[in-house]
Amino acid sequence: MAKVSVLSQNPAAVNCGIVTGGERSLIIDSGPCPTVASHLLHRAQALSTELVGSPHPVEAVITHDHWDHFFGNGTLAAAGVEIFYTSQSFAADQEATSWIALDGVRNAPENAEFAEELPEDPSALIVEVSPVDGSPGEVGEIDLGDCRVEFHVLGGHSTADLVVRLPDLGIVFTGDLVEEGASPQAGNDASLSEWVRSLRTVLAFPEATVFIPGHGVPVDREFVERQLEDIDGLRMNQADAEVALPARTMPGDYDRTLPREITIAGS
């Protein structure tokens, strides 16, 4: 049986995933810096060794092109990860996004604790990618060994959104199309109308019961429905623009310490 783990780490309190199948492992989002990416790769290799007795080949998928989700790509590539699944939009804009984002992150005073470990040359962030063919709505599929994985190209939070669906396990990694514990971020690359369509698509996955947001603890279908209502309400009251969306918190007692690692499926 596949194992699904969620690792939440600073900076940016971002959620990254590791799906361990019978033959391959998949890292979902490489994280915000080399240290996080190295930890993800180490854990992926350790988890596959626990499951089958030896390290698996490791692949990666990137949910969108915001820095905290892909700045670890170069580190993974340097360590031998060869396949990075992305949307076509990520593939087309990777170079420009890397240049713009790295300059902003490196020079922000609040990032001083980790900025020194980031490369000075943005080309160090750029990797060869395997884009999912087509425009929003297209689907790609791989098999990690008795573990089917679907990549659904969507949009709304950014121009490069992609969600990772594990149809046999009822789990969806949503990237920042869903956020828990803090307000979803709708910047100048967001489209509220597309965001609404994307969340409706995610909610149309009939088997999905667990949704892993880009930040925060795992949420259920009801939480995603409420966040959809928030975004749709704002969409109907103003044009697509930079807006402040309400924060929602998943009811219940959850471990919110950082760093943390939780197992969603498998033992």
For residue 44, the Cα-to-chain-centroid distance in whole angstroms is: 16
Q: What is the pLDDT of residues 75-97, one digit of tens each?
A: 999 999 999 999 999 999 999 99
pLDDT at 139: 85
What is the spatial distance between Cα 123 and Cα 79, in angstroms, rounded to a whole number? 16
The answer, as to whether pTM is greater than 0.85, is: yes
Q: Between the CA atoms of 16, 30, 95 and 122, what dihedral angle is there, to the nearest 10 degrees?
A: 130
Residue 77 φ then ψ, to 5°: -65, -40
Domain count, the chain: 1
Q: What's the rounded mean pLDDT across residues 218-244?
A: 83
Cβ contact 87:57 at 8 Å: no
How much of the chain exceeds pLDDT 90, in percent? 88
- pLDDT band per the 50, 70, 90 thresholds, residue 58: very high
Range with the poorest average pLDDT among 39-43, 48-52, 75-79? 48-52
Closest to 5 measured CA to CA, from 31, 246, 15: 15
What is the spatial distance between Cα 235 and Cα 263, in angstroms, rounded to a whole number? 35
Instruction: Please check the confidence at residue 137 and state whether its pLDDT lies above 90.
Output: no
Full domain range(s) for residue 90:
3-265
pLDDT at 133: 75
For residue 127, the Cα-to-chain-centroid distance in whole angstroms is: 17
CATH of the domain at 121: 3.60.15.10
pLDDT at 85: 98
- pLDDT band per the 50, 70, 90 thresholds, residue 195: very high
pLDDT at 136: 72
pLDDT at 138: 76
Cβ contact 212:171 at 8 Å: yes
pLDDT at 267: 67
Q: What is the pLDDT of residues 103-126, one digit of tens each?
A: 999 999 999 989 999 999 999 999
Q: What's the rounded mean pLDDT across residues 32-44?
A: 98
Tell me the pLDDT of the chain averaged across its residues: 94
Instruction: Please check the confidence at residue 3 and state whether its pLDDT lies above 70.
Output: yes
pLDDT at 131: 95
Tokens, residue 103: 């300059």
Q: What is the pLDDT of residues 149-179, one digit of tens each?
A: 999 999 999 999 999 999 999 999 999 999 9
**Beta pairing, strands 84-86 & 148-153:** unpaired
- pLDDT band per the 50, 70, 90 thresholds, residue 134: low
Instruction: Please check the confidence at residue 239 and state whether its pLDDT lies above 80.
Output: no
DSSP letter (8 states) at residue 177:
T
pLDDT at 243: 60
Instruction: Please check the confidence at residue 41 and state whether its pLDDT lies above 90.
Output: yes
- pLDDT band per the 50, 70, 90 thresholds, residue 23: very high
